[in-house]
Structure 1
């Protein structure tokens, strides 16, 4: 029975790893694919797969240690709790994908681990605060760097059309190689940081050794990118074709570099949000700060808050349902949830009535 439960935990982790590759990792080559630096989809995905695997194998160990033993005591991690952590992260991401809401894999996984720690009233708060501070600081750094580079790139491209990648000469080919290198760097960083989300709890529970977990986690993230990442690559490639080669290189390079630095310190960070804020910084340098009026920043803040809190709630609830039954607590949580939904519904109804009154002139 124990052996079967262990295999279930490993199976969920590897399935999670494949989904990480299909969603987050595959996006790293979007700029190169969209710009035509690499024209074949399978070639782009193959580069992603190689970059992700190398990143995990060569530098994923520190983040694995953090998720396996840096947030809650490793002695707390039984096979059942590992399954709950992985299920909470997977179900949260799956539900968000169905709703079309982009959540951060790293934040969801950290939230699931913290939820288990709260259920047993033992969390390494100091380490958690360091992680959360990176989540706040890195997007700001990414925005600032991209905004500064955006101004430099804008001047270069205005002075000389070759910087925009126009023409077929060696200069354009050099820019395309730069884009490829930046995309590979981003894929490498995804391997260093995100593979730990799938295998960190397994390693912490002693179900897999660190090197074994990194190898299999990296392999399945790479396979996920290669087999399932085509649609994400296509979508991101089309979205980013408006960017010049230099802009794409700066964004991918900034995101990849910041994530690699975080990985060396063992900090799981949200690559997607870092890249998004870098794109926002580049856009602000090009078009001014009117981009901020589109609610992008508010969306980023919502994702930043919802990702860890939702998975934390799910894992805490699963522990209190199946491992440490606390029916009264579950009743209170359900009551609070229903109350919040009811309040939101009442607020929306009130706002709709006020708008209707103002449109009819009765409210003036």
Structure 2
């Protein structure tokens, strides 16, 4: 019974990954009018499945046995790990908080490892270094690519009529490349713990996980493509090629190394890099940087705490760590409340001085 529930939950999680993350890869192609929505989603689903099937094995190994030993995973723990990751994303969607699927999944696995003190700390730090470095690399590469487009000859060719058909094909190809990379990297988030627990073999996990990510693209991706393609910002075809190509290349290389990385943050960094090349420092708004760092921290911590709490309560039946965590949370909120009160009082005093 628990095994079947774990498989169903993992596959449902895979569908949501396809609908939210993978489908976004065709947003630029659809938004620029190069492909229709239905065709774009169909092509994306094929690319996602091929990415998972052909190249998802290394990241699945990492999620199943690279962060914590396989012995940590039982059917019950794998169920809780997948459920915590899915619930974290669900809660984030309700409150409108953008979280990284890869970071949430890794945090959930780490939460299980903390209960049994079995986390491979060196591997975890290696993964976290990629989370920090890959957006920076994407930002720098986008600047260099944008600078190349400013070359007079290149600029004249891009603006000529004969460039439009070539760029139209390129932006679709790069979008599919990005979808392929998403399949390579993200399928492990849903099935890695199931493979680690021996519920699914690596081959079955990759096949069924990839298939359900692809289903998710077709079933749930219409709204995401609409938002990314037409409701956020307008991008030129050549800029779309840079964004998709840069993000996909980085994610594919990370996948070959078995590192789960946040595709959304990498793509966002590429967009910021293009903006920096055009408008300079004013595009580097403090709130954008703070928002990305906040997501980087909140995504894994939220799922980690949730997994840790559920395992302690449901499997270990140990309430003492939960009481300690609740005490820390209450203390933290209390300090923040007092700081807010002091700031408000200080503002009132300053206004009073001004009036006098």
Shorter-chain-normalised TM-score: which range? over 0.9
Match of 2:66?
70
How many angstroms apart in 1 are the aligned matches of 2:298 and 2:312?
21
Range that drifts further, 285-294 or 348-357 = 348-357
Q: Which of 322, 342, 350 is the matching residue for 1:358?
A: 350
Give the one of 143, 147, 152 matched to 1:147. Answer: 143
Q: Which runs of 4+ in 1 moved over 6 A?
A: none
Secondary structure in 2 matching 1:268: coil
Which residue of structure 2 lines up, in the alignment, with residue 304 of structure 1?
296
SS in 2 for 1:318: helix
**Aligned mates of 1:205, 1:30 — CA distance in 2:** 36
What are the Cα deviations for residues 247-279 of structure 1, in whole angstroms up to 9, with x where unaligned? 110011000010000000111000001111111
Q: Offset of 1:349 from its aligned partner?
A: 2.8
Asked whether the equivalents of residues 64 and 70 of structure 2 are also in contact (C-alpha less than 8 Å), the reply is: yes
TM score, norm. by length of structure 1: 0.94
Kept in 1: contact 2:148–2:154 (CA 8 A): no
Does the Cα contact within 8 Å between 1:153 and 1:247 map onto a contact in 2?
no
Question: Cα RMSD between the aligned structures?
Answer: 1.7
CA deviation after TM superposition for structure 1 residue 240, in Å: 5.6
Structure 1 partner of 2:257 = 265
Match of 2:9 in 1: 12
Cα deviation, 1:95-123, whole Å, max 9, x if unaligned, reads 11111111000000000001100100111
Over residues 324-352 of structure 1, what are the superposed CA-to-partner deviations in whole Å (9 max), with x where a residue is unaligned?
A: 12212211111111221222222223323
Distance across 2 between alignment mates of 1:223 and 1:134: 29
Query: Paired residue for 2:269, among 263, 270, 277?
Result: 277
**What is the 5 A alignment of 1:1-364?**
4-38=1-35, 40-156=36-152, 159-160=155-156, 162-164=157-159, 169-239=161-231, 241-362=233-354
Distance 1:239 1:186 in 2: 20
What is the alpha-carbon distance in structure 2 between the residues aligned to residue 310 and residue 8 of structure 1? 23
Give, in angstroms, the shift of residue 239 of structure 1: 4.3
> TM-score, length-normalised on structure 2?
0.96
Give the superposition deviation at 1:292.
Answer: 1.4
Call closer, same or farther: CA 1:271–1:360 in 2, change over 3 Å.
same
3-state SS of paired residue (2:285): helix
Question: What is the distance in 2 between the residues matched to 1:94 and 1:313?
Answer: 15
Tell me: CA distance 1:361–1:156, structure 2 relative to 1, closer, same or farther (3 Å): farther
Bigger drift between 136-145 and 234-243 goes to: 234-243
The CA distance in 1 between the partners of 2:342 and 2:154, in whole Å, is 51
Q: Which runs of 5+ in 2 are unaligned?
A: none
Tell me, what secondary structure is at the counterpart of 1:229? helix
Is 169-178 or 304-313 further displaced after alignment?
169-178
Deviation of 1:286 (Å): 0.8
Unpaired runs of 5+ in structure 1?
Answer: none
Give the secondary-structure state (helix, strand or coil) at the position aligned to 2:79.
helix
- 1:33 deviates by 0.9
Aligned equivalents of 1:292, 1:111: Cα separation in 2: 28
User: 2:150 is paired with a residue of what secondary structure?
Assistant: helix
Separation in structure 2 between the aligned mates of residue 287 and residue 178 of structure 1, nearest angstrom: 25
